[in-house]
Chains A and B, each alone.
Chain A
Amino acid sequence: MQRHPAAFKENAAEALLDADLQRALGLAESGFGLKRRKAMAALPEFDALCDQATAIKDHVLDHLDVYLQRFEKAVLNSGGHVHWCEDAEQARQTILALCRSASAKMVTKGKSMVSEEIGLNGFLEANGVQPVETDLGEYIIQLADEPPSHIIGPALHKTKDQVSDLFHRHHPAIGYPDRLEEGEALVGEARSILRHKYLQADVGITGANFLIAETGSTVIVTNEGNGDMTQIFPRMHIVLASIEKIVPTLEDAATLLRVLARSATGQEMSVYTTFSTGPKRAGDADGPDAFHVVLLDNGRSKLLGGNQRDILRCIRCGACMNNCPVYMAAGGHAYGATYMGPMGSVLTPHFAGLHAAQALPFASTFCGRCEAVCPMRIPLPKLMRELRSDAHSARLTPARERFWLALWLWAAQRPRLYRAISSGVLRGLAFLSRGRGRFHWLPLAGGWTAARDFPAPQGDSFLAQWAKRRKPGS
């Protein structure tokens, strides 16, 4: 797998031949689908809840500056610090400086897609700080040296057998000699290894699902409790979050939480929902001595005024990819980017540039299921179509496709000519098919016949036959 979005087609071809990946995707597809449908069925007001959630985020995006400043003030009031970072480099440097100020050799990390977005792990390692991922999925792919293949299930591409092998390759050196096969045993081993890390870590880094303006709180949801241990034990807690994660009030956060878990895993609530407000206060039993929020823009504020603004409502539930036929065939790594599936195909061109990532908005059948399941009502096909349009206008699409499109358009505006050409081609094809009904191969149709037979036409076009029938009488 090549880790850049221009390689989508080659990556997808490789993915389709990977039997383990296909098995893992098959399990994920049926599992996610079933759980989400059950959760929907159990909550008749889910649609109304989605409307509310959408309205909250739209309101926030209209007043993002106001709420961000309110959030900063509340964080400062609770004894924390806020660092505004325009791009990935600034965020990396800020976090490194914070780690150095805590003389950190090792940091534990809760799951954070924004940390993937800024390439934090590689950067910290290169600068002498060892990051340890504590979410089980992230822990697995860190061992495997792979990026996440799904925003909520980073190791979704791996089968249990592959995880057994992976652990057995890495864990004997640290005192775990046996190859384990049961899921529970594998989880147990990872937990016991991680337990020591939580206590040794100098800094804990987490992401945030929401930032609450009125209280200055950051919110994470996990199913393993790893996020809590990451942020409570070390002396310093750094929260890395992008600016659109803000919501005005605790009440708003509650509304979004009700939508998030149901859309993501089909749970009513994640097992742990953790609110963090500032460092440990006098009298608190535990918590970090220092609390820092690193706020990342990385191009998001540029999306506010444009035709892609709706993507900023995204709460990273993953429902769009769980219901995407393309994602479920090709897997997340094929996208060659931090974010994958429909939401990734919209976001990646803004991070990587449309020139580098234009294959992605075209990697959709426009089946519309992503939009139908999106709890934040993001019109994903429309956003991808806008990106296709931008790519076309900037002449980034392949010259060959542009040529055929232009020629076809020219003819389609000339009905008589269009009819004459299609009649000629159709009658030719019908003759060549000699009643066999289909072609195994056709010139200029390799994109079709590489995988399918091409159905032969029945003879002349309907319009030509209709005109002929009408002539004698009319």
Chain B
Amino acid sequence: MPPASPGQKNVALFVTCLVDMFRPSAAFATVKLLQDAGCIVQVPAAQTCCGQPAYNSGDKAGAALLASQTIRMLIDYDYVVVPSGSCAAMIKHHYPQLLADDAEMAALAQAVADKTFELTQFLHDVMHYKPVAKALENITYHDACSGLRELAVQAQPRALLQTLVRETADGEMCCGFGGTFCVKYTGVSAAIADKKLDRFSATGAELVLGGDLGCLMHLAGRAARRGLPLQFRHVAEILAGDVTAPAIAEPEK
């Protein structure tokens, strides 16, 4: 790890499976934002998954294996930043509980938890960073549940965007993604998405931003299936001013 100059923080980017595989543009935008905020960004090469799919499928032992692997990989950095509220909450809230029976691992888990942040939370609350303001119109924001209720991420992305967000009715309602729930109970999941999509449409917004790619892929996929004229992007792309990649599920121009 290269030494940081005084005051500069070594930040590990825990990119998450979905951003890694489906939205590298959001990952590069995240790197740019962190660098602009004055961090030295490291991308630990051994990262895979935080273990949430196993944890929520009831496989605690499997989740604990991935949690331990992730904790050992992240323990030496000043901060860990995650462009997803749900994966950040997994590390921040659930790792210490999951590993509570092993005192040594539990202590490490707590140490990593204490320095782990969701991206907008880190930029706003820790780095007090203000991106260059861009006038954006017709945007709305999807507050993903884990970030909202487990990390209290709600004001931060709005403050960073420095623009009017067209708020949806009952914005704290779930979009129906729910990880493996979305393929296990497809019909219910899509029905919930439809309520959410109708509320997005009702705001008159054309672009839906969010901090969690799982929700965004689910919503974008459902909107595309219904032929709705809504676009979906990870908030990092807008904050970093990089919209060269087509929006999620949109064709190349």
Is B210 in contact with chain A by the CB < 8 A criterion? no
Binds B, one of A110-118, A129-137, A246-254, A363-371: A363-371
Is A465 in contact with chain B by the CB < 8 A criterion? yes
What does the 1/0 interface line of B173-208 toward A look like (CB < 8 Å)? 110111111111111111111010000000000000
Q: Are B58 and A426 in contact (CB under 8 A)?
A: no
User: B187 touches which one: A16, A366, A413 (CB < 8 A)?
Assistant: A16
**In the complex, chain A residues whose CB is within 8 Å of the CB of B183:** 445, 447-448
Q: Are B58 and A368 in contact (CB under 8 A)?
A: no
User: B45 touches which one: A387, A438, A463 (CB < 8 A)?
Assistant: A463
**In the complex, chain B residues whose CB is within 8 Å of the CB of A406:** 62
Q: Are A33 and B170 in contact (CB under 8 A)?
A: yes
Nearest B residue to A450, CB-CB: B186
Is A125 in contact with chain B by the CB < 8 A criterion? no
From 321 to 339 in chain A, residues with beta carbon under 8 angstroms from any chain B beta carbon are 325-326, 329-330
Binds B, one of A173-181, A185-193, A451-459: A451-459
Of the four ranges (under 10, 10 to 19, 20 to 34, 35 or more), the interface on chain B belongs to 35 or more
**In the complex, chain B residues whose CB is within 8 Å of the CB of A459:** 24
Q: Are B58 and A454 in contact (CB under 8 A)?
A: no
Is B137 in contact with chain A by the CB < 8 A criterion? no
**In the complex, chain A residues whose CB is within 8 Å of the CB of B135:** none
User: B188 touches which one: A16, A385, A392, A418 (CB < 8 A)?
Assistant: A16
Is A403 in contact with chain B by the CB < 8 A criterion? no
Q: Are B188 and A405 in contact (CB under 8 A)?
A: no
Is B34 in contact with chain A by the CB < 8 A criterion? no
Contact (A458, B218) CB under 8 Å given A415-B45, A415-B46, A415-B47? no
Q: How far is the CA of A459 from the CA of B20 in the complex (A)?
A: 10
Nearest A residue to B251, CB-CB: A437
Is A235 in contact with chain B by the CB < 8 A criterion? no
Binds A, one of B48-56, B102-110, B115-123, B157-165: B48-56
CB proximity of A408 to chain B, nearest CB, Å = 7
Q: Are A451 and B222 in contact (CB under 8 A)?
A: yes
CB proximity of A391 to chain B, nearest CB, Å = 6
CB proximity of A88 to chain B, nearest CB, Å = 28
Q: Are B192 and A388 in contact (CB under 8 A)?
A: no
Is A47 in contact with chain B by the CB < 8 A criterion? no
Q: Are A453 and B28 in contact (CB under 8 A)?
A: no
Is B131 in contact with chain A by the CB < 8 A criterion? no
Q: How far is the CA of A33 from the CA of B169 in the complex (A)?
A: 11
**In the complex, chain A residues whose CB is within 8 Å of the CB of B252:** 435, 437
**In the complex, chain B residues whose CB is within 8 Å of the CB of A408:** 53
Binds A, one of B4-12, B74-82, B142-150: B142-150
Is A69 in contact with chain B by the CB < 8 A criterion? no
Q: Are A463 and B25 in contact (CB under 8 A)?
A: no
Is B57 in contact with chain A by the CB < 8 A criterion? yes
**In the complex, chain A residues whose CB is within 8 Å of the CB of B146:** 366, 368
Contact (A458, B59) CB under 8 Å given A325-B192, A435-B251, A451-B187? no
Q: Are A452 and B188 in contact (CB under 8 A)?
A: no
User: B58 touches which one: A390, A448, A455 (CB < 8 A)?
Assistant: A390
**In the complex, chain B residues whose CB is within 8 Å of the CB of A450:** 186
Q: Are A330 and B188 in contact (CB under 8 A)?
A: yes
**In the complex, chain B residues whose CB is within 8 Å of the CB of A372:** 149
Is B60 in contact with chain A by the CB < 8 A criterion? yes
Q: How far is the CA of A408 from the CA of B179 in the complex (A)?
A: 15
User: B221 touches which one: A364, A405, A448 (CB < 8 A)?
Assistant: A448
Q: Are B188 and A447 in contact (CB under 8 A)?
A: no
**In the complex, chain A residues whose CB is within 8 Å of the CB of B56:** 366, 385, 388
What does the 1/0 interface line of A448-474 toward B look like (CB < 8 Å)? 101111111111111101110000000
Is A3 in contact with chain B by the CB < 8 A criterion? no
Q: Are A415 and B48 in contact (CB under 8 A)?
A: yes
User: A461 touches which one: B21, B54, B192 (CB < 8 A)?
Assistant: B21
Q: How far is the CA of A397 from the CA of B59 in the complex (A)?
A: 11
Is A196 in contact with chain B by the CB < 8 A criterion? no
Is A401 in contact with chain B by the CB < 8 A criterion? yes
Q: Are A405 and B149 in contact (CB under 8 A)?
A: no
Is B15 in contact with chain A by the CB < 8 A criterion? yes
Q: How far is the CA of A236 from the CA of B225 in the complex (A)?
A: 61
Nearest B residue to A323, CB-CB: B173
**In the complex, chain B residues whose CB is within 8 Å of the CB of A43:** none
Q: How far is the CA of A372 from the CA of B184 in the complex (A)?
A: 24
Is A393 in contact with chain B by the CB < 8 A criterion? yes
Q: How far is the CA of A408 from the CA of B59 in the complex (A)?
A: 12
Q: Are B173 and A325 in contact (CB under 8 A)?
A: yes
Is B224 in contact with chain A by the CB < 8 A criterion? yes
Is A422 in contact with chain B by the CB < 8 A criterion? yes
User: A447 touches which one: B58, B66, B186 (CB < 8 A)?
Assistant: B186
Nearest B residue to A401, CB-CB: B57
Q: Are B184 and A413 in contact (CB under 8 A)?
A: no
The 7 listed contacts between A and B (C-beta, < 8 Å) are A363-B185, A437-B250, A437-B252, A438-B251, A453-B249, A457-B22, A465-B24
**Apart from A372-B149, A453-B220, A461-B24, what are 12 other A-B pairs with CB-CB below 8 Å?**
A325-B192, A329-B192, A391-B58, A426-B21, A437-B249, A438-B251, A448-B182, A448-B221, A451-B186, A452-B222, A457-B21, A462-B19
The residues of A with any CB-CB pair to B shorter than 8 Å are 9, 12-13, 16, 33, 325-326, 329-330, 362-369, 371-372, 385, 387-393, 397, 401, 405-406, 408-409, 411-413, 415, 418, 422, 426, 435-438, 445, 447-448, 450-463, 465-467
For the complex of A and B, 4 pairs with smallest distance between CB atoms: A365-B178, A447-B183, A392-B58, A452-B221
The residues of B with any CB-CB pair to A shorter than 8 Å are 15, 19-25, 27-28, 43, 45-49, 51, 53-60, 62, 65-66, 69, 145-146, 149-150, 170, 172-174, 176-193, 195, 217-218, 220-222, 224-225, 245-246, 248-252
